[in-house]
Structures are given as structure tokens and as C-alpha cells.
Amino acid sequence: MDEEQLFAFDTWGFLTVEDALTPEQVADLKATVDEKGPDLHSQHADRGGFWSQGFFDLLDVPAVSGILDQIYGGLRAGGLPPFRIDHINVHTHGTFNKDLAGGTIHGSNGRLLDPSRPHELITHYYERDADDGTFANGLVTVAFELEDTVCNGGGFGCLAGSHKGHYRVPEAWVDLSKGVHPMVTNVPARAGTAIIFTEALCHVTLPWTVPSTRTTLFYKYMDREEHYSGVDNFFSSADADPWQNADERKRAILAPPPQSFVDRKKREAEAREA
């Protein structure tokens, strides 16, 4: 990351990368979404796998990957990426869509709000080492915008800086169908822009008020040693087999977390339910 990106991510909890995708990529991906429709849990092997070569290629976009490497603390032993793909969502919102009224604010830094909770059960967190400046993050999202989102037109919104917050969002602010609090920041972005944010940031879908249809692809990553999605939704390195450019880095990004972490997380969850 350059100094502007470092400042933005550390201070606000998000940053934008313009032209992360080419116009040709945007057109190809949008055509596929128009054909397939929105799907909150798409691309997994049990859903038929990646929709196209274009969706597979988004696993490791050059303009984004170096940033993710740094967000997750740097390359691991053997040059492996420090993150893995956890799940992928495809969202569309139009002026006649039920989501016109806006969503609900969600996300928070679990390590600050619930520090006694076991590490394995905290999936939304952000930390920066005071000594060496390295980051540690849980769930991080790359939102690829396939449609222009303009100021006050809707789309991605957030409470900038809330990834460092020690208090929960006031209840009166949460439901945007009842009104948008002035502290909510709209993040406009041209098609092809990637918005990268930590899920520890309080974020939301703003009311979509323009005639076009919002089309956003959410690629959600975790530290390569951890997971958010359930075991049944884990990707596998073998999911790369049908596709071109299936290099070792992409296969590593698709690899599931260590079974030892999966087992510990299951035990911690069962202990808290007991």
C-alpha cells in the first residue's frame, strides 16, 4: 500500500482502488450477472462452482492482491498469500427492488466489543501492531463495483473509523429504511473500482435512488488460518482445476483453513452453548 492507502485503511477502515478492473472485465462480469441473477452464496462447488473465468480471475486481481497481502500481515512461509477466500456474494439493487429503502448497519470490532470471547469465535476484527506497523484482520471484503455509484445515489455506505470503536452503533441509527443518519458516509465509485474494507467497520447498503441497477461483487476473505463460513461452504484448491491461469497462488487462496483451527472453533462454540 502507498501512504494514502495506508492512511485511509488505518483511519477509516476502507480504501478504494480505481480501475482495479478493465472496462472489458466489467462488461463480461456484468453480462454473466445479468444471465445468472443475484445470489448471496454463489460460486461454491455445491452451487456449480465459479460462474465464469472472469469470476475465477477475481480471486487474485493484481491491483488488489498486494493490498490484501499487507492487510493480513505479509506473505507467509514459502511466499504463500496470508489470506484465503471465505465466500462470495453477488448483489443487485434497482429502483424497484425491495432494498430501495436501504439496509441495516452491521459490522464491528469483536476484539474491542467482546474481548473475553475466544479468538476462534471472533471473525470481525482489526488490529495494528504498534511496534512494526503490521496489520491483523478477520473478515475483509473486496467489493467490485460493476455499475457507477454516485454521490447520494446509494450503494456502499459506512461509519468511517468505526472499526476502532469501543461502543455499539446506536439502535436509532441501524435501520436505514427509517432514515439515514448524517454520520453515514456514502462512498461513490465508478464501475471497475474495488472498495476494500474490514468487516470490523460498521457498514451498510444505502438506499438506491438512481435509475440504473447496482451490481456489486463481494469477495470476502479471511486470514488463511481462520474461517467465517461453515465447513460445508469451504472452497478447495481443486476448485481451480477447470480454469485457466490456475497458478499456485490462486490454489492457495482457495485452500480451506487448517483442520486444527476448525476443530478448536467447534469446541469453543459448543462450550459456550453448554
C-alpha distance from residue 205 to each of 38, 106, 175, 180, 182 (Å): 15, 10, 10, 11, 14
Query: Which is it for strands 203-206 and 155-158: parallel, antiparallel or unpaired?
Result: antiparallel
Q: Map out the domains of the chain as residue ranges.
A: 3-91+108-148+188-201+208-273
Does pLDDT of 93 surpass 90?
Answer: no
Nearest Cα residue to 120 out of 263, 273, 252, 274: 263
What is the rounded distance in angstroms from the CA atom of residue 88 to the CA atom of residue 157? 19
Q: What is the pLDDT of residues 239-263, one digit of tens each?
A: 999 999 999 999 999 999 999 999 9
Highest average pLDDT, of 49-53, 91-95, 154-158, 246-250, comes from 246-250
Determine the average pLDDT of the residues in 51-59.
Answer: 96
pLDDT, mean of residues 55-83: 96
Which secondary-structure segment (H or E) carries 221?
strand 214-223
pTM score, two decimals?
0.94
Is the four-CA dihedral 235, 257, 252, 241 of positive or negative sign? negative
* CATH code for residues 3-91+108-148+188-201+208-273: 2.60.120.620
Query: With contact defined as beta carbons under 8 Å apart, do 159 and 169 qualify?
Result: yes
Helix (H, G, I), strand (E, B) or coil at 255: coil
Kindly tell me if the per-residue pLDDT of 101 is higher than 80.
no
Q: Cell 473478515 identifies what position? A: 139
Tell me how far CA of residue 4 lies from CA of 8, 53, 250, in angstroms: 6, 32, 27
C-alpha cell at 92: 443487485
Residues 177-195 pLDDT 10s: 899 999 999 999 999 999 9
Q: What is the pLDDT of residue 152?
A: 73
Q: Is the Cβ–Cβ distance between 136 and 73 less than 8 Å?
A: yes
Contact (Cβ atoms closer than 8 angstroms) between residue 186 and residue 94: no
Asked if pLDDT for residue 98 goes beyond 60, the answer is: no
Give, in order, the Cα–Cα distances in Å from 222 to each of 105, 112, 169, 171, 225: 21, 18, 24, 28, 8
Is the Cβ–Cβ distance between 99 and 112 less than 8 Å?
Answer: no
Span 103-150, pLDDT tens digits: 899 999 999 999 999 999 999 999 999 999 999 999 999 999 999 988
Q: Is 18 left (phi over 0), alpha (psi -120 to 50) or beta?
A: beta
